[in-house]
Amino acid sequence: MAAVHYKLHLEKRDMERLSWTPVSSTIHGLRYTVTNLRENTRYGFRVRAENQYGESTPIEMVEPVVVKSPFSVPDAPSSPEVLE
């Protein structure tokens, strides 16, 4: 039996918009880092597979994700407290 080769297509959608945007069609493995996302924006993602027999139906995330920065600006320092 011959091996079936496939590739994965990943798409994103800003939840404020109606259209899907291709992210990549060269995903290898089960993890992929999506770049160039806007902070505090809700995104949906979907993936579909393609092989020599055709394309699958897209599988979509159940809940969108909100992009947050891993870095935040610290608060201003508080006033010193004097202890006697």
For residue 76, being part of any structural domain is answered with: no
How confident is the model over 4-60, as pLDDT tens digits? 788 899 999 999 999 999 998 778 778 889 999 999 999 999 999 998 899 999 999
Give residue 14's domain range.
Answer: 6-66
Number of domains in the chain: 1
Question: 0.95 cut: is pTM over it?
Answer: no
Helix/strand/coil percentages in the chain, nearest 5: 0, 40, 60
Q: Reduced to 3 states, what is the DSSP secondary structure of residue 29? A: coil
CA torsion angle 68 43 58 60 (round to 10)? 70
Residue 66 token pair = 């909100």
For residue 55, being part of any structural domain is answered with: yes
